[in-house]
Structure 1
Amino acid sequence: MLELAVAVALIALNGVFALSELAVVSSRRARLTAMAEARKSGALAALALTENPGRFLSTVQIGITLIGILSGAVSGAALGERLAGVFLDLGLGKGVAETLGYGLVIGVITYLSVIIGELVPKHLALRNPEAVACLVAPGMRLISRIALPAVWLLDASTRAVFRLIGQETASASAVTEEEIRTLVAEAETAGVIETGERQMIAGVLRLGDRAVRGVMTPRTDVRWIDLSRDEADIRAALIDSPHARLPVGEGSPDNMVGVVQVRDLVRPLMAGEPLNLPRHIRKVPVLPDTIDALAALAALQEAEVPLALIHDEYGHFDGLVTPADILDAIAGAFRSEEAEPEAVQRADGSWLIAGWMPADEMADQLGIRLDPSRHYETAAGLVIDRLQRLPETGESCDIAGWRFEVVDLDGRRVDKLLVSRIESEEA
């Protein structure tokens, strides 16, 4: 019975090593760090193991290899011999008895090693890898120190082989944006987060990739006050404007001098007093159109008035950006009397898309990938980039399995696109 107890103990010990290996490898460093900050027992040791995976994996391999050798040499041989003796007593021949005895012992030990020593511990480790890693990490660090010479030899040999084949032993642990999107989508499917939360997270990720041109209100849509006009025209423009702040220029949008807040002018407007507009003009930051949306957000947070003017490299006014534009990029467009929907799906599955719809939002809607090095920011820009010229009404181009047809122009600006799947049309 001693041999049987030794065999069971070795299989259980193999399970501990398998459990430890998968738990530490599967643990997320961010969660381990949070557990360490909360003074969770074993968390610091688990973090140390994840920071040096080569030594840890060498320790685990040494343990599993020694257990395999002992199981075969001690328990397997002794149990096989004893079981062969039982078969001899039952009247079987020596050759048959030894074959059956050793075969049965090897089969049972192998089966128990796979189930008890591998599969069950690994399934347990995957249930809560960080908690298991904290539990086993102190013991694994102790074994690593005891077997330091052998661990060092295996780790150094592994690194040498990797250098010979031109690779690094350190794994690429950087999390990509695509992995974050996949994780968020899985969390939505599992009910951990709401659909609206997932959409806002996707909007934040898109914001980091957008240039300020992709979130600003373009020059053609900006209402502004011209100081060179007479006071009656300025009063009419202020009263007619739906905006709380208006940029002010002298003769041309390319000569912007600042911004006025309509609330500062309500009293003279209502009382019929002189406006004295220059007195109410406030300075706002002027940003180049080459910066990204996050840099523009930082500038808005520091500005006296939360509005920034966007100019190109030649000093021409391109548009303006406000916190509402940033929120629109994150949470989606808000309904208003003037705004049109960005995208409307029709009964046949095609989409009617506004030319000004951000290209990355359109790509998410249609499930297509855009070139990361693109120089356009809108759906209309995508079509123009593909055609390499300004399109005419009725022209179309095929992109990633979709047909983009220009159905409406506003002057030379692409106003509406009809987007339909090419496969459905061919069918």
Structure 2
Amino acid sequence: MSDWMGIAWLVVLLMANAFFVAGEFAVMSARRSQIEPLAETGNKRALNALKAMENVSIMLAICQLGITVCSLLILNVAEPAIHHLFAVPLEALGIPEPISDTVAFLLALLIVTFLHVTFGEMVPKNMAVSVADKAVLLLATPLLWLSKITKPIVFSLNWIANHALRLMGVEPKDEVTSSYTIEEVQSIVEESTKHGTLDDDAGILSSALEFSDYTVENIMVKLEELVTLPADTTPKSFEKAVGRTGFSRFVMLDEDEAYAGYLHLKDVLAIPDSLYGEPISVTRLRSMANLKATAEIEDALAVMQRTGSHVARVLDEGNSTIGILFFEDVLEQLVGEIHDATQQQGYRRRNLLDEEDSESRASR
């Protein structure tokens, strides 16, 4: 083989090595969430990409086999050609053969190593990682084709490797994990925030991830802080309470000062004018959901959505009422403080017992 033919083979082998390196990192780095929508449309390349990602150990075995073969061929074909290209002119300069041969070998090894590491390894690796989703769509099909051709060899190598792992107490996987725990997602959000990727959304994402860290008892309104209205409240006095506090919902007491239910402003607005001076009928009260103090917030949200109640009674282990949970408080855990444009400053959980018309404590 001529020296220049050896150089030509070097280019071909570097390209082949780059293909296998890019394929290895593309299969490892691609995200199923980006590939699956394409696969659902019947895209052939996307379907092949998913198949490759689901058989990652086989794909890695093919890539490693290809990289190893290419590397060995580069050393055995390209290095001697480059070696000879340097050795001949060095000998022509009168340099003794042992010295010229050693210098030519070192120069050839340096050049081949540089080309192999740079263009056969680093460039394709960085490219595949940077555009992993596109790379796996491009490379998965030829990798699957090669897996059929080299099936006996690859499956034998994979079988031996898997059994070696099991002997070391490690269970091999055929698919790269694409799901994350809550803690891992929180870490991703924090890291993305540091790099400025999620400046606007990080707060909501973090709150959503921390939703399960809180119980109803953590965000409920305690009874001593709760604002309510008495049983003899009239539509007129109700509207005055709304005007002073800005609240649209009020927890109502019965004649025994027990928590009878709650009223929304629109319930009162539906009362005929002829009854505006009369106490509001208990039949107009909305029922409150019942929640355990130890219930997680997402469970409380599900109960309130299912029952359609925006106010819930919080019970302890003995089923005694220890607080009230408002739907707004649940939402605030997710999106942050909600400011009602009509709510008056200082009336958030203020006791109204001494206010005009005997309104005794108002809620949202």
Give the structure-2-normalised TM-score. Answer: 0.81
Q: Is 1:15–2:2 an aligned residue pair?
A: no
Q: Distance in 2 between matches of 1:256 and 1:333?
A: 26
Equivalent position to 2:296, from 292, 297, 315: 292
Deviations 1:81-132 (A, max 9, x none): 4543443344332322322222222221111001111111122122211111
Q: Please state how far the C-alpha of 1:58 moved relative to its aligned partner.
A: 0.8
User: Alpha-carbon deviation of 1:303?
Assistant: 2.3
Matches within 5 A, 1:311-322: 311-322=315-326
Give the Cα separation in 2 of the matches to 1:339 and 1:199. 27
1:135 is displaced (CA, Å) by 0.8
Shifted more, 180-189 versus 206-215: the winner is 180-189
User: Kindly tell me: are residues 185 and 232 of structure 1, through their superposed partners in 2, closer, same or farther at Cα, counting changes over 3 Å?
Assistant: closer
Cross-structure match for 1:180: 185
Q: Among 266, 277, 282, which residue is 1:278 paired with?
A: 282
Match of 1:240 in 2: 241
- Stretch of structure 1 that moved more, 274-283 or 128-137: 274-283
Letter in 2 for 1:176: T
In the other structure, the counterpart of 2:346 is 338
1:104 to 100, 104, 107: 107
Contact 2:234 2:279 in 1 (8 A): no
- Please list, as runs of the form range in 1=range in 2, the aligned pairs for 1:204-223 lying within 5 A after superposition: 204-223=208-227
1:26 is matched with 29
Q: Distance in 2 between matches of 1:44 and 1:259?
A: 55
How far does the alpha carbon of each residue in 1:277-325 deviate from its partner, in whole angstroms, 9 at most, with x for none? 2221222321222221112112222224332222122111122223311
Shift in alpha-carbon separation, 1:28–1:252, aligned structure 2, 3 A: farther
Distance 1:232 1:110 in 2: 89
Partner of 2:141: 138
2:53 maps to 1:50: yes
Task: Specify the alignment match of 2:65 in structure 1.
Answer: 62
Maintained 8 Å contact 1:284/1:304: no
Unaligned runs of 5+ in 2: 349-364
- Write the distance in 2 (CA, Å) between the matches of 1:37 and 1:148: 28
Which structure has more relative contact order (CA 8 Å, sep 6+)? It is: 2
Q: Cα deviations across residues 345-396 of structure 1 (Å, max 9, x unaligned)?
A: xxxxxxxxxxxxxxxxxxxxxxxxxxxxxxxxxxxxxxxxxxxxxxxxxxxx
Determine the C-alpha separation between the residues in 1 that align with 2:318 and 2:118: 71
SS in 2 for 1:220: coil
Alignment correspondent of 2:163: 160
Matched-pair contact (CA < 8 Å) for 2:290–2:313: yes
How far did residue 10 of structure 1 move? 0.6
**Displacement, 1:4?**
0.7
Mapping 1:409-424, distance limit 5 Å: none
CA distance in 2, matches of 1:10, 1:246: 78
Q: Is the 8 A contact 2:18 2:121 kept in 1?
A: yes
Q: Which amino acid aligns with 1:184?
A: V
Which consecutive residues of structure 1, in runs of 5 or more, have no partner in the other structure?
341-427
Q: Which amino acid aligns with 1:139?
A: P
Judged with a 3 Å threshold, the aligned counterparts in structure 2 of structure 1 residues 155 and 202 are, in CA distance, closer, same or farther, namely same
For 1:42, what is the secondary structure of its paired residue? Answer: helix
Q: CA deviation at 1:20?
A: 1.6
The count of aligned residue pairs is 335
Identity of aligned residues (%): 24
The structure with the largest strand share of the pair is: 1
Contact 2:234–2:277 (Cα < 8 Å) also in 1: no
Give the aligned partner of residue 198 of structure 1: 202
Task: Please say which structure displays the higher CA radius of gyration.
Answer: 2
Contact 1:265 1:275 in 2 (8 A): no
Distance between the aligned counterparts of 1:41 and 1:339, measured in 2? 62
